[in-house]
Amino acid sequence: MLYLLGIFFGNFDHSLFKSIYIFLISFFSNTFSAISGGGAGLLQLPALILSGVPYYQALASHKLATVALGIGGSLRNFKSLGNDISIAWQILIFGLPGVILGASLVEYISEMYLYLILGIISILLAFYSFLKPDLGLSSGNNKLNLFHKIRFLIFIFLIGILNGSISSGTGLLVTILLIKTFEMDFLRAISLTFFTVGIFWNFIGAVSLTKIGSVPSDILIILIIGSFSGGYFGAHLSKLNGNILIKKTFTIVCILVGISLLIKFTKSFL
């Protein structure tokens, strides 16, 4: 009897420790993601994989959890979305087909080359942000001609494919694309990224991925709580401290995401 109780409490302690670990990882990774406009997968996705969750289930769980991040961040910055609804529709209409395509290709394509490409892009984004002191610190309303509109929509579709297949870092790409294309500041661009990528892209991607395998419900609940609370808290901090904090965090997260993806690429050859 004592032996059985020992096993029970040993499993309970292990399960409780694992739950606390996953919650803390989810909360802190999504807090930084809410400030920088992406990068939650830097800690959250590897943590799930290290916990023994298979890659496809971990990716689906991560995407469903980042829907909560998007909701948490959007609730805090909802007023920032008022003037950008037409841009949000463009991101959804042209990005969602890319997400669905990327999620359907994840079983057939080699992830390591996507890690390499996105890792290099993330590091280049960090250097670009660092070398452009005024980037994203003020907001304008850039009017696009036909060529720039088509280019923007093509980039959105391609980022959607990356979002559906590997997830990590794609929110950062959408954020910087919005800043460069429409002359938005970081706070405005991140609010739009949360609403479109965080909620809709990730939800559709997660639904597509759940067709590959089931999602562990016990872990998912913890991730959703951590993501929502981290997203709201991060959006609150960014609102209080403004674009300078967001820009610095964006640069740091881009570097970390890039290094993480390049390490994954290197390990695939070992």
Q: What is the pLDDT of residues 7-26, one digit of tens each?
A: 433 444 457 777 888 888 88
**Given this model, what pLDDT does residue 11 score?**
45
Work out the percent of the chain whose per-residue pLDDT is above 90. Answer: 10
Give Cα separations from 72 to 49, 50, 76, 191, 194 (angstroms). Answer: 24, 26, 7, 11, 9
The token duo for 235 is 């959006």
Confidence (pLDDT) at 155: 95
Mapped onto helix, strand or coil, the DSSP state of residue 101 is helix
The whole-number pLDDT of residue 158 equals 93
Confidence (pTM): 0.76
DSSP letter string over 143-190? PP-HHHHHHHHHHHHHHHHHHHHT-TTHHHHHHHHHHHHH---HHHHH
pLDDT score, position 8: 37
Range of the domain at 54: 2-267
pLDDT, residue 14, reads 53
Which pLDDT value is given to residue 80?
65
User: What sign for the dihedral angle of Cα 179, 127, 29, 99?
Assistant: positive
- Return the DSSP state at 52: T
**pLDDT (0 to 100) of residue 95:** 93
Q: pLDDT of 183-202, one tens digit each?
A: 888 888 888 888 898 889 88
pLDDT score of 28: 83
Alpha helices per DSSP H over the chain: 2-36, 44-50, 55-76, 85-105, 111-131, 146-165, 170-182, 186-193, 202-209, 217-267
Question: Given the structure tokens 């500041």, which residue do they identify?
Answer: 185
Q: Kindly give the parts of the chain with pLDDT less than 50.
A: 1-13
Structural domain total, the chain:
1
CATH of the domain at 111: 1.20.1250
